[in-house]
Structures are given as C-alpha cells and as structure tokens.
C-alpha cells in the first residue's frame, strides 16, 4: 500500500495550528485521515491544548510544526507511547516521493539572509527556464508546494526549528550562509543551534558553505559530502569567489588551470 493511500482512517496528531499546521491538517483530512490538532497557544473549536482526550494507543503517528521543542511534554508523552513523530518537511517528502518522484529539492539555511537568498535562487532557476518554487519557511509550506504546484525544483528556506525535526528529506544541494547566536533560548546552547543548522548537510549530494564564517569552517570537517566553498576572494578549485568584482565559478574543476 502506498503512503498516501495508507493515510485513510489513520489517527494522526498534528502539533501546531498556525501557518504550517493548517495546510498539514487540510492535506491529511483530504486523504480521509482522522486528525487531532494540538496547540498550546491558539484556541479554537477543533483545537486541543493537550492530549487528555486522545487515546494514545490509537494514534498512528504525529506531525510537528516548526517551533515545538523536542522536550515538549506533549511530544515526549507521545514518544513514550511509541508514537512516531515526524516533521512537516518529512511528511511532504514522503508525499513527494509518491506523486512527484522526479522533483528535486534544494535547501538553504543561515542566521541571516535566508529569505533573500532563497528568492534569488528561485529567480535564477526560473530565468534559466526551470520550473522552480521557493517554499518552506517562506511563501508556501513544503506540503503545499508538493501538492499544489507542478514545480520540478523546490527551493526550501529552512529554519533551525524545521531542521531540528527533519531527517528524511534528501537534497540535491544545500547551503549554509552564516551562523551567529540566535534562538539560544529555544535550542539551549549555541552548539545545539549550530548543530541543528548543520543537520541540513546530512542528506545532501553537494554542500555549499561560507568560507568567511569561522563557525561554519570549524564544523565543516564533519561534513561527509562534497563541499563547495564561496567567498569574496579569488576562488580556488571547488570554490566560488570574486575576481575583479566578477563572480567566478570554479566549483567543479579539478585544477587551477581550468576556469568556467
């Protein structure tokens, strides 16, 4: 049985009634799933604030929206009952694998500049004739982009919150723009925050990193995939840089003598 068809009559908890949770609920309901929407801050007739009225033994899995901490008592309650918890990104990936298997995903993260860079990436792809859509933490959610567009490429802006929960999605290429102290209260420490950012590199064919960011350079030694460095300096092989204010791409050459 396919994943999508298996959703019929499944009991699924969705954490978050906001921008990500609502499209998730709509998709699951359209597939005849039995959904339970949980939100501790947003009230509504179909929104639960806890799991007191939920039979955990009947729950098949849960989908968590960005911003829910991994140690949230409600999520821990489900996990202790052996209920799988996945991100909306990974839900969208499962659906994409079935309805758009040829669709390719690109992803980008960073403390600053994510939205601008994702919009630029989308614009460059479109200008080159590629059917691409920016989504994730900007515009459409991942599940909306998969189910409501015919895009050949998705360019996902991903926050540390989304990356904390996501493990299944595979990317043709990913980029980390920069890492500075942010959301430390949520992650608990700068290392936890930086590690969440670097989760984006685990399931990627190519990893694009900022050569001027010391925190990125320090952590790059643990990246197992091909790295393309970008900087404001003259690029060496496997780098993108500047020569007399021109962007020069030497990311895929093998020696100094070659140039693209």
**pTM of structure:** 0.91
Tokens 């093998």 correspond to 254
pLDDT score for 44: 85
| Residues 108/175, Cβ–Cβ less than 8 Å | yes
Contacts of 103 (CB under 8 A, 6+ apart): 96, 146, 151, 152, 153, 154
pLDDT score for 259: 47
- Cα-based distances in Å from 246 to 78, 130, 169, 211: 53, 24, 34, 17
pLDDT score for 255: 56
* Sequence spans of domains, the chain: 3-83, 101-224
pLDDT score for 62: 97
Residues in the chain with pLDDT < 50? 259-260
Instruction: Give the C-alpha separation, 260 to 249, whole Å.
Output: 6
Instruction: Give the C-alpha separation, 118 to 157, whole Å.
Output: 6
At 26-78, the pLDDT tens digits run 999 999 999 999 998 888 888 999 999 999 999 999 999 988 888 899 999 99
CATH architecture of 3-83: 3-Layer(aba) Sandwich (3.40)
CATH architecture of 101-224: 3-Layer(aba) Sandwich (3.40)
């Amino acid at each position: 049985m396919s994943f999508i068809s298996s959703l019929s009559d499944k009991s699924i908890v969705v954490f978050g009634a906001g921008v990500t949770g609502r499209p998730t609920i709509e998709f699951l309901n359209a597939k005849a799933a039995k959904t339970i929407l949980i939100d501790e801050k947003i009230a509504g007739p179909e929104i639960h604030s806890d799991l007191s009225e939920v039979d955990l033994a009947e729950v098949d899995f849960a989908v968590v929206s960005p911003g829910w901490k991994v140690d949230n008592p409600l999520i821990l309650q489900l996990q202790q009952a052996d209920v799988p918890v996945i991100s909306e990104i990974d839900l969208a990936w499962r659906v994409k694998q079935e309805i758009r298997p040829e669709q390719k995903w690109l992803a980008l993260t960073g403390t600053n500049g994510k939205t601008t860079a994702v919009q630029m990436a989308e614009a460059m792809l479109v200008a080159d004739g590629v059917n691409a859509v920016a989504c994730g933490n900007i515009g459409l959610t991942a599940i909306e982009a998969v189910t409501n567009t015919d895009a050949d490429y998705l360019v996902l802006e991903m926050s540390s919150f989304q990356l904390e929960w996501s493990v299944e999605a595979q990317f043709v290429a990913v980029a980390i723009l920069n890492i500075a102290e942010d959301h430390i209260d949520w992650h608990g420490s700068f290392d936890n925050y930086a590690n969440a950012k670097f989760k984006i590199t685990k399931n990627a064919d190519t990893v694009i990193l900022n050569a001027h960011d010391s925190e990125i350079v320090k952590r790059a030694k643990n990246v197992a995939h091909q790295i393309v460095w970008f900087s404001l300096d003259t690029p060496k092989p496997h780098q993108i840089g500047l020569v007399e204010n021109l962007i020069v791409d030497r990311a895929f050459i093998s020696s100094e003598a070659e140039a693209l």
